Amino acid sequence: MLNFTSRAISALALILGSFSAASADELPAATKKALVELKLESSIMDGLEAELDIPKAWVDGAAREKGGVIILGTWQDAEFRRITESFIERYPSIKLSYARSASAARGINVLVALNSGRVIADVITSVGDSYSEFKAQKALADLRDLPGIKSLAPEYVDDDGNWIAHKIGYRCMSYNTDLVKRSDLPKTWDDLLTNPIWRGGKIALSNTPNAWLLALWSAKGEVWGKRFTDRLFTELRPQKRKEGMMAVTSLAVAGEFYANIPAPERRVEQYANKGAPISYHCPEPVPITLSQIVMLEKAERKNGARIFINWLISREGQIMQYVANASVPVHKSLQDTRFVPFSETIVGKSSIARGEDMFGDAATKMDETWSAHWAK
């Protein structure tokens, strides 16, 4: 079970004042500071007022709710504090109690508590493997009534409103620039199979197909997915690495192989900025991983939770999240080269988003095919 000790809560809770919130057109000092830091014009906030036009009933209800909105997430504590600086100024009477939590704490522990009649969280990010169980138990609230949802592309919102994406991750390939010519980079994923340069262990794979292959498999169908996976292993004969994708990416820098799949774009950017011989490339279509945020149907602080989630997906919340940890925004108006690393290989290409709901037939078939090859 997840224990919120008084010491932990006092360290992480953001205790705020009264509801004398700054209006949307009067930007909080923290927001202005972030815009200066990112060298952005204040006009990027045009339209924010409509996004934050929440019902008065939510505001009144939040003022009556006891305790802080309990948020379980994956942000570092320092990141969460930076992200919510503007929220504090804008909604000074809402308390937030944040705990950075492991996967089990965000999933199984919450579900076990619900089954015993206890609610230990209001808002959760990245419920991952537990999503199907949350959905089966109808434990998630419908978030489609949030004003800010109009600023998101449809694929970033669950059809039933059970989750909303709050950031994007790309999972393509990194490559060693000393070993690979740009002319050899594949335009599509099928092109990866036809160029002899990638054969004979020149590509490394980490055992994380859900991060990239599942999106492709789901969109292109089982026939394509099985054929591509079979050829990937039998023709390219990639290195099957036991390390995670972060560690495998560092080995690409060292030249242990030409390229690795999947690769986290931000980590590659960090290496490249330090002068390492590495870069990033996305064959088309670009696999996108969505990081979701959910609210429990039985949340004890529903009003405050809704206000927080709505603010996070607003352009202000997205800018604050970006300045805190460089997360790629989901907001429609922020989908441009200023916020996307290696934008020249990502922006403008067709893409496929993979969300939390990844436990259907496509996932089962992909896992069977992948696991059979991986075990050989």
Dihedral, 176, 179, 183, 188 alpha carbons, nearest 10: -50
Give the pLDDT confidence of 65-107 residue by residue, as tens digits. Answer: 999 999 999 999 999 999 999 999 999 999 999 999 888 889 9
- The answer to whether position 218 is within a domain reads yes
- The answer to whether position 197 is within a domain reads yes
**Which residues touch 89 (CB under 8 Å, ≥6 apart)?**
21, 22, 28, 29, 30
Angle, CA 149 vertex, CA 146 and CA 151 arms, to 5° = 140
Instruction: Based on the fold, state whether residues 173 and 28 are members of the same structural domain.
Output: no
Percent of the chain with pLDDT strictly greater than 90: 79
| Surface-to-core class of residue 27, CB atoms within 10 Å of its CB (0-12 exposed, 13-18 middle, 19+ buried) | buried
Whole-angstrom CA distances from 311 to 19, 37, 51, 84, 306 are: 15, 20, 8, 10, 8
Instruction: Based on the fold, state whether residues 226 and 371 are members of the same structural domain.
Output: yes
Stated pTM of the model:
0.84
Measure the CA–CA gap between 215 and 209, rounded to whole angstroms. 9
- Give the H or E element holding residue 123: strand 123-125
- The answer to whether position 219 is within a domain reads yes
Tally Cβ neighbours within 10 Å of residue 364: 10
- The answer to whether position 1 is within a domain reads no
Instruction: Based on the fold, state whether residues 102 and 53 are members of the same structural domain.
Output: yes
Instruction: Based on the fold, state whether residues 30 and 149 are members of the same structural domain.
Output: yes
Give the pLDDT confidence of 289-301 residue by residue, as tens digits. Answer: 889 999 999 999 9
For residue 254, the SS3 value is coil
Measure the CA–CA gap between 341 and 151, rounded to whole angstroms. 22
Tokens at residue 211, please?
A: 């991060």
Measure the CA–CA gap between 151 and 135, rounded to whole angstroms. 25
Instruction: Based on the fold, state whether residues 269 and 369 are members of the same structural domain.
Output: yes
Query: Pairing state of beta strands 351-354 and 278-281?
Result: unpaired
Measure the CA–CA gap between 353 and 15, rounded to whole angstroms. 36
- Quick one: which of 257, 218, 220 has its CA closest to 237? 257
- The answer to whether position 92 is within a domain reads yes
Query: Pairing state of beta strands 259-264 and 203-206?
Result: parallel
**Which residues touch 8 (CB under 8 Å, ≥6 apart)?**
99
Instruction: Specify the pLDDT at position 40.
Output: 96
Query: Pairing state of beta strands 286-295 and 351-354?
Result: parallel
- The answer to whether position 24 is within a domain reads yes
Q: Please count the structural domains in the chain.
A: 2
Instruction: Based on the fold, state whether residues 148 and 39 are members of the same structural domain.
Output: yes
- 92: domain CATH number? 3.40.190.10
- The answer to whether position 144 is within a domain reads yes
Secondary structure (DSSP) of 173-232: EEEETTT--GGGS-SBTTHHHH-GGG-SS-EEEES-GGGTHHHHHHHH-HHHHHHHHHHH
Instruction: Based on the fold, state whether residues 272 and 347 are members of the same structural domain.
Output: yes
Instruction: Specify the pLDDT at position 24.
Output: 52
Instruction: Based on the fold, state whether residues 232 and 353 are members of the same structural domain.
Output: yes
For residue 345, the SS3 value is helix
Give the pLDDT confidence of 323-376 residue by residue, as tens digits. Answer: 999 999 999 999 888 999 999 999 889 998 865 445 567 888 999 999 999 998
Instruction: Specify the pLDDT at position 73.
Output: 95
Instruction: Based on the fold, state whether residues 364 and 251 are members of the same structural domain.
Output: yes
Measure the CA–CA gap between 320 and 331, rounded to whole angstroms. 12
pLDDT of 7 over the 60 cut: no
Q: Is the peptide bond before 196 cis (omega within 30 degrees of 0)?
A: no
Instruction: Based on the fold, state whether residues 263 and 283 are members of the same structural domain.
Output: yes
Instruction: Based on the fold, state whether residues 218 and 279 are members of the same structural domain.
Output: yes
Instruction: Based on the fold, state whether residues 275 and 313 are members of the same structural domain.
Output: no
Instruction: Specify the pLDDT at position 5.
Output: 34
Please, what's the largest Cα pairwise distance for the chain?
66
- The answer to whether position 43 is within a domain reads yes
Secondary structure (DSSP) of 281-339: E-PBSEEEEEEEEEEBTT-TTHHHHHHHHHHHHSHHHHHHHHHHH-PBP-BGGG-STTS
Instruction: Specify the pLDDT at position 3.
Output: 40
Range of the domain at 268: 168-289+342-375
